[in-house]
């Protein structure tokens, strides 16, 4: 394993960020290459733990000469967000200076323009330097996995339509409960990678895959889970010939696959204390009570009940127990288009 880093000049004199890059050199130039990163939203740490144990397993495989394709790992992709500790809370989703979501506004460039991506680096704000460096590294790989998490959630992934169903091997080996088929209409990291590949003069490569993996909820950070999830990724690498070991026989993936239009994003229209009646992983029927918000506790008439708009699977819910108006309560993977209109792109800001 080789360790490098890239530097980001801060927006203030004397401030500099360093992002470690761990590289495993493959022995087969024809094998697919992989880029993985975690904690782009800096307070989403299950993926960082997964990549820590993935590197441990890869070092063992490296010693045995079993790494076929180059593997690049950035376990803590966002030191700017990691440092945003305000009133004891780590706020890692938005950059405080400009209110940018760290996983939006990635440059949408053609694949051929990737070589000039870093040329304007010194004139960019720190957050944009970070984005150009991450995208630049990702576009050198055939397979790009961006590890995030939800608030409280099952293990699920966003995958652009064009990579499905070829990505079923990832769903099976990573043990995904659900796949959300995205429309490719946002400027999230994953979709900037897909955009570049779509705008590429070279013939389309069947090896390519990019996905945002949501490793459950923010608090699902444990050694046992991270080791098992890392083993799932190694198994995926075996399936794709990145690790030259015989893959285990795979059974047909049994998870739920849903286009974004069929996801019910339930939002609060009042504020108060939320009582959930359903857990992540529960199946709900249309009209079933899923949550209650106590708007004025102690008074019987002041509570707001929320019901499932259609039957489906509860994939995620808020870890917060006080909600404000328009806060997200729950995501339900349904079977038909939601009546709530969705803007193209991502499900949330």
Residues that bind Zn ion (CB under 5 A): 41, 44, 148
Among the listed residues 93, 64, 258, the one whose alpha carbon sits nearest the alpha carbon of residue 171: 258
Among the listed residues 124, 231, 216, 140, the one whose alpha carbon sits nearest the alpha carbon of residue 178: 216
Residue 35 or 237: the one with the smaller Cβ distance to Zn ion is: 35
Residue with tokens 């967000």: 81
CB of 39 to Zn ion, least distance (A): 9
Q: CA 50, CA 25: separation in Å to the nearest integer?
A: 20
Residue 58 or 153: the one with the smaller Cβ distance to Zn ion is: 153
Q: CA 323, CA 293: separation in Å to the nearest integer?
A: 8
Residue 148 or 240: the one with the smaller Cβ distance to Zn ion is: 148
Among the listed residues 112, 116, 68, the one whose alpha carbon sits nearest the alpha carbon of residue 241: 68
Q: Is the peptide bond before 276 cis (omega within 30 degrees of 0)?
A: no
CB of 208 to Zn ion, least distance (A): 22
CB of 343 to Zn ion, least distance (A): 18
CB of 251 to Zn ion, least distance (A): 29
CB of 46 to Zn ion, least distance (A): 10
Residue 114 or 148: the one with the smaller Cβ distance to Zn ion is: 148
CB of 44 to Zn ion, least distance (A): 5
335, two tokens: 């079977």
Residue 44 or 262: the one with the smaller Cβ distance to Zn ion is: 44
Residue 96 zone, left/alpha/beta (φ > 0; ψ -120 to 50; rest) = alpha
Residue 142 or 146: the one with the smaller Cβ distance to Zn ion is: 146
Residue 239's alpha-carbon distances to 70, 250, 333, in angstroms, are 15, 9, 28
Which residues are CB-neighbours of 5 under 8 A, at least 6 positions away?
18, 19, 20, 21
Q: Helix 126-138 vs helix 189-198: angle between axes, to the nearest 10 degrees? A: 50
85, two tokens: 């500790």
CB of 64 to Zn ion, least distance (A): 34
Residue 241 zone, left/alpha/beta (φ > 0; ψ -120 to 50; rest) = left
Q: CA 67, CA 26: separation in Å to the nearest integer?
A: 5
Residue 44 or 191: the one with the smaller Cβ distance to Zn ion is: 44
Q: CA 175, CA 214: separation in Å to the nearest integer?
A: 12
Residue 338's alpha-carbon distances to 161, 181, 288, 325, 343, in angstroms, are 18, 15, 16, 20, 12
CB of 281 to Zn ion, least distance (A): 20
CB of 312 to Zn ion, least distance (A): 22
Residue 217 or 312: the one with the smaller Cβ distance to Zn ion is: 217
Residue 44 or 95: the one with the smaller Cβ distance to Zn ion is: 44
């Amino acid at each position: 394993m080789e360790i490098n880093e890239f530097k980001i000049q801060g927006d203030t004199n004397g401030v500099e960020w360093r992002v470690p890059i761990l590289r495993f050199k493959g022995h087969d130039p024809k094998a697919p290459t992989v880029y993985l990163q975690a904690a782009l939203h800096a307070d989403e740490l299950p993926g960082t733990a997964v990549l820590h144990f993935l590197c441990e397993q890869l070092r063992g495989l490296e010693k045995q000469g079993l790494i076929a394709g180059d593997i690049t790992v950035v376990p803590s992709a966002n030191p700017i967000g990691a440092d945003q500790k305000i009133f004891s809370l780590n706020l890692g989703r938005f950059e405080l200076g400009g209110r940018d979501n760290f996983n939006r506004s990635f440059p949408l460039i053609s694949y051929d323009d990737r070589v000039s991506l870093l040329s304007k680096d010194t004139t960019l704000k720190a957050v944009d330097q970070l984005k150009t460096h991450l995208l630049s590294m990702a576009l050198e790989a055939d397979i790009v996995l961006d590890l995030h998490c939800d608030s409280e959630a099952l293990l699920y992934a966003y995958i652009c339509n064009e990579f499905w169903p070829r990505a079923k091997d990832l769903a099976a080996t990573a043990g995904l409960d659900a796949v959300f088929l995205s429309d490719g209409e946002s400027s999230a990291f994953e979709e900037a990678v897909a955009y570049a590949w779509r705008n590429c003069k070279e013939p389309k490569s069947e090896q390519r895959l990019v996905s945002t993996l949501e490793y459950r909820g923010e608090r699902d950070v444990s050694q046992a889970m991270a080791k098992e999830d890392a083993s799932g990724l190694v198994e995926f690498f075996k399936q794709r010939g990145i690790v030259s070991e015989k893959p285990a026989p795979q059974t047909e993936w049994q998870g739920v696959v849903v286009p974004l239009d069929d996801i019910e994003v339930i939002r609060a229209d009042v504020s108060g204390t939320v009582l959930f009646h359903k857990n992540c992983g529960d199946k709900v029927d249309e009209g079933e009570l899923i949550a209650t918000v106590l708007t004025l506790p102690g008074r019987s008439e002041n509570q707001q009940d929320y019901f499932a708009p259609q039957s489906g699977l509860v994939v995620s819910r808020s870890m917060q127990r006080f909600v404000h108006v328009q806060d997200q309560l729950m995501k339900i993977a349904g079977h038909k288009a939601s009546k709530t209109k969705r803007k193209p792109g991502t499900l949330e800001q």
